[in-house]
Amino acid sequence: MKNILVTGGAGFIGSNFINNILEKRDDYFIVNLDKLTYAGNLDNLRQSENNKNYTFIKGDIANSELVNFIFEKYKIKYVVNFAAESHVDRSISGSQIFYTTNVIGTNVLLETAMKFKIEKFLQISTDEVYGSLGAEGLFTESTPLSPNSPYSSSKAAADMMAMAFYHTYGLPVVITRCSNNYGPYQFPEKLIPLMVINSLSNKKLPVYGDGLNVRDWIYVIDHNEAAELVLEKGKIGEVYNVGASNEMSNIEIIKLILRHLGKSEDLIQYVKDRLGHDRRYAIDSTKIQSELGWKPKYSFEQAIEKTIDWYVKDKVWWEKIISGEYLKYYANQYKM
């Protein structure tokens, strides 16, 4: 049995990771440590909550005493650190919690992992640490870190700290840097679920700036299978970029969603641009493909339709969210 601590497992990517692993294997015992911030939702884990190889603990990764207790009690040998404040717009409105969770919290996990001599520490990072691209080129693992938002700077700090623990103490760290994910259970503040839900509710779709910023989209299961592979086979001290080579401008995605739902483009509303808005992200994932044999399984065309249909079908999931915190937050931003 591999005892693995998954942090942030009640969020979008972490919950998909846990559900996917528990569905297909029985050699992992997963302890999910999640603070249940506005983005954490135990409804995401309904299919896993009664699994004998799973337990949930509500708590903060920055709580050293609790993290020590968990490592000791569950004899943790592997860590996958998904826990983070993850939304760029929120980091622009208030950056402090981003550094507390993403930097200090990661530091607590690294220190504890060292103390308990774990076998592998997977830091889930993002392509946003590389900054922004012009019209040409791709991010490779050797692209210099040049983060532009408080969010991406906190993730870059965590990456550097994780690598410092590898170089200084020999802690077995690996890092994945993935591009923009889409799929079920994504909190409806991020582009795709926000646009789907606003379309379904006949609300305006706020497009930042000229709508021509480009993101490189990957289905969440493809990201998680890459993470699982890196956890098992990734070389310690290495970084692996993860992406599905699927660049799209924001306006293209929004129009695709409207077409799929049979809604009018009149819902589109251009709004003031995001401060410091990165223009383009695009990932070169040659390394993980050639060294570890990973490749994405889902085509964008199929997986985006499957994703949109999931939000149509699972209305109860997002209605619960938008009736609470979500609405209060966005009321201030004139989005709803």
Candidates 4, 6, 39, 79: give the one binding ligand NAD (CB under 6 A). Answer: 39
Least distance from ligand TYD to the Cβ atom of residue 225, Å: 21
Q: Which two tokens stand for residue 94?
A: 């208030």
Reported as half-sphere exposure (CB side, CA atoms, 13 A), residue 169 has a value of 17
Tokens 């103490």 sit at which residue?
A: 169
User: What's the closest the beta carbon of residue 71 comes to ligand NAD, in angstroms?
Assistant: 15
Determine, following the binding rule CB under 6 A, whether residue 221 of this chain makes contact with ligand NAD: no
8 contacts ligand NAD (rule: CB under 6 A)? yes
Q: Which helix (H) or strand (E) is 60 found in, with range?
A: none
Strand partners, 33: 7, 57
CA 18 to chain centre: 13
In angstroms, give the least distance from the CB of 264 to ligand NAD: 28
Binding mask 197-216 for ligand TYD (x = CB under 6 A): ---------xxx----x-x-
31 binding ligand TYD? (CB under 6 A): no
Considering only residues 4, 88, 231, 282, which one is a binding residue for ligand TYD as defined by CB under 6 A?
88
Cα(119)–Cα(28) distance, rounded to whole angstroms? 14
As given in the structure block, the two tokens for residue 240 are 């692996």
Q: Tell me which of 4, 18, 30, 61 binds ligand NAD, using CB under 6 A.
A: 61
* Dist CA 285 CA 248 (whole Å): 17
Strand ranges in 76-213 using DSSP code E only, listed in sequence order = 78-81, 120-126, 173-178, 180-182, 205-208
Does the annotation mark 159 as catalytic?
no
- Per CB under 6 A, does 38 bind ligand TYD? no
Among 77, 155, 190, 280, binds ligand TYD (CB under 6 A): 190
Question: What secondary structure does DSSP assign to 183-243, as a single string?
Answer: STT--TTSHHHHHHHHHHTT--EEEETTS--EEEEEEHHHHHHHHHHHHHHPPTT-EEEE-
- Contact of residue 162 among ligand NAD, ligand TYD, none (CB under 5-8 Å per partner type): none
Q: How far is CA 298 from CA 219, 220, 241, 292, 304, in A?
A: 7, 10, 17, 18, 9
Query: Which is catalytic among the residues 34, 85, 128, 278?
Result: 128
Rounded Cα distance between 267 and 205, Å, is: 6
Please say if 128 is a catalytic residue: yes
Task: Pick one of ligand TYD, ligand NAD, none as the site partner of residue 178 (Cβ within 5 to 8 A by kind).
Answer: ligand NAD
Binding of residue 48 to ligand NAD (CB under 6 A): no
91 scored as a contact of ligand NAD (CB under 6 A): no
Of ligand NAD, ligand TYD, none, which one sits near residue 84, judging by CB under 5 to 8 A according to partner kind? ligand NAD
Which residues contribute to the site for ligand TYD (CB under 6 A)? 88, 180, 190-191, 194, 206-208, 213, 215, 250, 274
Q: What residues are labeled active site?
A: 127-128, 151
Which residues contribute to the site for ligand NAD (CB under 6 A)? 7-8, 10-14, 33-37, 39-40, 60-62, 82-86, 101, 105, 124, 126, 155, 178, 180-181, 187
